C-alpha cells in the first residue's frame, strides 16, 4: 500500500537526484577548459600511439624515450605552425587591415560600390536594389574589436593550454598500460574480456581515423594552396590553412570555406578593377575550390575515412547526415568517431544480431 510517507520519500529522492545532477553539470561547466584539454590530449594520444609503436618496434627505443620522441614531434609541428603563421600574419596585418575597423568598413563599402557599378554597366536592376538596401549601414562593425580581443585573449591562454595538453598527453602515452590495468579492476569479471577487446579495437580504429583526418586536411590544404598560388591571391598560405581547417565540418565546412575564400580574394585585390580583375579572379578561385572539393568528396575523403574506420562511404555519409539533422554542426564533427565506438561495442556485446553483423562485417 502506498502511503504518504512513501510518496514524500520518493519526491525527496527525486529532488536530491535532480540537485545532484545539477551540481555535477555545474561542476563540469566550471571545469570545461580542463575537459577540453583532456579531449585534445586523448585525440593526440590516439594519433601518437602508432608513432610511439614505430619508435619502439622499428627504432628499438625504450618506452620512455619513445614517449618523449613522440611528444617532441608534436612540439615541433606546433611550433612549426607558429613560426610559419605568426610572422606572416604580422607582416600582412596592414594589408588585411586586421586592426583597423574604419579601414575594414571603407574597404567593404568600396567593394559594394564596385559591384554596383558593374551591375549598372550590365543593365541589371539588382544594382538599384543593392543601393536602396543600404547594406553597409546595416552592418555593425563594432563586433570587430571584441572579436580581436577574444583572439588576443585566446593567444594569451595558448601557452597554458599547450603546456597542459602536452603534459596530459605525455602521461596518457607513458602510462597507457597502467590506465588499462586500472580500467580492468573497475569492470565486472563477467564482461572483462569483451570490454578490454572493445577498448583495444576502438583505440586502433580511432587512431587510424584521426591520422586519416590529418592526412585529408593536409591534402586539401595543399590543393587549396596551389589554386591560390596559380591566381596570385595574397596571403595564400593563411587563406588555404583557414579553409582547410573548415573541412573538419563535413559537407558544410567546404561551402563556408568557398565563401571565405571568395571574400578574402576580393578584399585582397581592392586596388584593382572589379570587372576585369577582381571578379574573374574570384570566379576562378571559386571554380578551383569546387574542383578541390569534388576531388576531396569523391576520392580522398571516402577512401581515407572508409579505410580508417572500416565503414562503407555511403554508411559514413548517412551517419554524418543524420547526426547533422539531430545535433547540428557539432554532431557532424563527432558522428564518425561515436559511430565507430557504437559499432565496436555492438559487435562485442550483440554479435548474434543480424543488423550488427551486417554493419560490423569488416571490423
Whether the pLDDT of residue 94 is over 50: the answer is no
**Residue 44: is it exposed, middle or buried by C-beta count within 10 angstroms (0-12/13-18/19+)?**
buried
Contacts of 188 (CB under 8 A, 6+ apart): none
Average pLDDT, the chain: 77
Among 27-41, 58-72, 172-186, 322-336, the least confident range: 172-186
pLDDT band, very low/low/confident/very high, at 98 (cuts 50, 70, 90): very low
Q: Do residues 70 and 197 lie in contact, with contact meaning Cβ atoms separated by under 8 Å?
A: no
Residue whose cell numbers read 603546456: 163
C-alpha cell at 110: 568600396
* DSSP sequence for 333-347: HHHHHHHHHHHHHHH
Measured in degrees and rounded to the nearest 5, phi and psi for residue 131 equal: -70, -40
What share of the chain in percent tops pLDDT 70? Answer: 74
Backbone φ/ψ region at 328: left (φ over 0), alpha (ψ -120 to 50), beta: left
The pLDDT tens digits for 206-217 are 888 888 888 888
pLDDT, residue 222, reads: 92
pLDDT, residue 338, reads: 85
**How large is the angle between the packed helices 236-246 and 192-230, nearest 10 degrees?**
150
Whether the pLDDT of residue 229 is over 80: the answer is yes
* DSSP sequence for 112-152: HHHHHHHHHHTT-THHHHHHHHTHHHH--TTHHHHHHHHHH
pLDDT, residue 96, reads: 46
Whether the pLDDT of residue 101 is over 70: the answer is no
Whether the pLDDT of residue 293 is over 50: the answer is yes
pTM comes to: 0.68
Amino acid at each position: 500500500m502506498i502511503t504518504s510517507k512513501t510518496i514524500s520519500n520518493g519526491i525527496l529522492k527525486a529532488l536530491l537526484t535532480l540537485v545532484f545532477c545539477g551540481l555535477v553539470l555545474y561542476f563540469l561547466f566550471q571545469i570545461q577548459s580542463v575537459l577540453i584539454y583532456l579531449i585534445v590530449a586523448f585525440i593526440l594520444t590516439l594519433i601518437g600511439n602508432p608513432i610511439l609503436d614505430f619508435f619502439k618496434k622499428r627504432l628499438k627505443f625504450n618506452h620512455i624515450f619513445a614517449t618523449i620522441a613522440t611528444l617532441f614531434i608534436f612540439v615541433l609541428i606546433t611550433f612549426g605552425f607558429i613560426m610559419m603563421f605568426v610572422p606572416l600574419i604580422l607582416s600582412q596585418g596592414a594589408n588585411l587591415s586586421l586592426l583597423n575597423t574604419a579601414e575594414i568598413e571603407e574597404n567593404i563599402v568600396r567593394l559594394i560600390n564596385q559591384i554596383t557599378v558593374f551591375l549598372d554597366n550590365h543593365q541589371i536592376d539588382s544594382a538599384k536594389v543593392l543601393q536602396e538596401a543600404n547594406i553597409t549601414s546595416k552592418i555593425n562593425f563594432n563586433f570587430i574589436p571584441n572579436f580581436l580581443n577574444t583572439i588576443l585573449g585566446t593567444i594569451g591562454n595558448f601557452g597554458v593550454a599547450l603546456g597542459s595538453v602536452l603534459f596530459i598527453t605525455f602521461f596518457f602515452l607513458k602510462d597507457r598500460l597502467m590506465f588499462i590495468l586500472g580500467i580492468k579492476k573497475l569492470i565486472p569479471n563477467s564482461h572483462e574480456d569483451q570490454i578490454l577487446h572493445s577498448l583495444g579495437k576502438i583505440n586502433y580504429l580511432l587512431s587510424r581515423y584521426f591520422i586519416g583526418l590529418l592526412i585529408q586536411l593536409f591534402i586539401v590544404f595543399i590543393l587549396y594552396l596551389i589554386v591560390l598560388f596559380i591566381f596570385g591571391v595574397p596571403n595564400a598560405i593563411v587563406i588555404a590553412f583557414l579553409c582547410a581547417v573548415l573541412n573538419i565540418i563535413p559537407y558544410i565546412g567546404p561551402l563556408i570555406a568557398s565563401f571565405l575564400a571568395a571574400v578574402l580574394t576580393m578584399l585582397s585585390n581592392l586596388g584593382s578593377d572589379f570587372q576585369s580583375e577582381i571578379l574573374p579572379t574570384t570566379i576562378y578561385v571559386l571554380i578551383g575550390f569546387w574542383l578541390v572539393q569534388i576531388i576531396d568528396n569523391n576520392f580522398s575523403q571516402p577512401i581515407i575515412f572508409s579505410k580508417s574506420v572500416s565503414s562503407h562511404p555511403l554508411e559514413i555519409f548517412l551517419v554524418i547526415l543524420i547526426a547533422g539533422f539531430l545535433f547540428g554542426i557539432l554532431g557532424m564533427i563527432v558522428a564518425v568517431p561515436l559511430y565507430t565506438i557504437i559499432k565496436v561495442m555492438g559487435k562485442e556485446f550483440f554479435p548474434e544480431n543480424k543488423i550488427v553483423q551486417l554493419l560490423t562485417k569488416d571490423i
